[in-house]
Amino acid sequence: MMSKTIHRENSYEVMLQAAAQNGFAIECTEKYFVHHGLTDLFCYSGKHNPEIYFDPSVRASISAFALWPG
């Protein structure tokens, strides 16, 4: 599931190119890290709390799980 999810993600370079092609100029970027207190659920939200993935409502809110046929 993770390898399929990763292929759906756009690379940094692709995002910059798409922005430029649509008239946007990226002036600066900032890295972010998944921290312990994260409340928004996305695929890496369980990094520090993986047992949340056992909750079906959590999985249903994360596209990688929702789109996975297994």
Q: Is the pLDDT assigned to residue 33 strictly greater than 80? A: no
pTM of the model: 0.47
Q: Is the pLDDT assigned to residue 43 strictly greater than 70? A: no
Quick one: 64 exposed, middle or buried, by C-beta within 10 A (0-12, 13-18, 19+)?
Answer: middle
Banded model confidence at residue 20, pLDDT cuts 50, 70, 90: very high
Domain ranges of the chain: 2-66
Which comes out higher in pLDDT, residue 31 or 25? 25
Query: What is the model's pLDDT at position 23?
Result: 95
pLDDT average, residue stretch 27-38: 78
Report the alpha-carbon distance of residue 55 to residue 57 in Å, rounded: 6
